[in-house]
Amino acid sequence: MEFVRTAIPDVVLIKPTVHGDHRGYFVETFRQDALASFLGFSVAFCQDNESKSSKGVLRGLHYQLPPFAQTKLVRVIQGSVLDIALDIRQGSPTFGRHVSVCLSEANKHQLLVPRGFAHGFVVLEEETVFAYKVDNYYSPENDRGIAYNDPNLGIDWQLPHEALKLSAKDTTQPSFNEAKDFFSYGVNYYG
């Protein structure tokens, strides 16, 4: 398992080792000890989630406020997505910047998105299954979001606007500048 810091160092790309032969493949998708060794501390995941979506479905950009903020470890089981982690830690040198990574069934890569980041993804293939671990439970009262199409963020979702499929909630999120509930930089947001 290889751990790679992205352009925003707190967001980590994880490249599992795939062992394959004529029968198929085997891959370890999570090792608490390896992740803790890389980070220097443990993340206590408490829940696994899974969604199935069709091409063009865009989910995000979402986050939860403390004390219900979540670290996410995301991956694709089937299909592919463009995954986005947006830094919303006020005072951070990368505040307002994002990391964009393709996660797919083929590459088996994962992205570790710490607390203090808004997260979203767009589905690039039909029949895509997205799975993720979180280190905190969902709290509807603390659920927040940012407009996926805010031009100030400069996110290229790699699909034309007319191909995107959004929930009613995601069509009415505030812009980055209008959003009020951000995090403070300098706190360990892995949980």
Q: Which residues are catalytic?
A: 62, 132
Q: What is the pTM of this model?
A: 0.93
Q: What pLDDT digit, counting tens, does each position of 1-59 carry?
A: 999 999 999 999 999 999 999 999 999 999 999 999 999 999 999 999 999 999 999 99
Residue ranges and CATH numbers for the domains of the chain are 2-183 (2.60.120.10)
Q: Which of 191, 179, 13 is nearest to 95 (CA)?
A: 179
CA distance 33 to 44: 11
Question: Is 60 exceeded by the pLDDT of residue 189?
Answer: no
Residue partners of 181: CB distance under 8 A and separation at least 6: 65, 144
CA distance 165 to 54: 9
Range in 81-85, 140-144, 156-160, 179-183 the model is least confident about: 179-183
Q: What pLDDT digit, counting tens, does each position of 96-148 carry?
A: 999 999 999 999 999 999 999 999 999 999 999 999 999 999 999 999 999 99
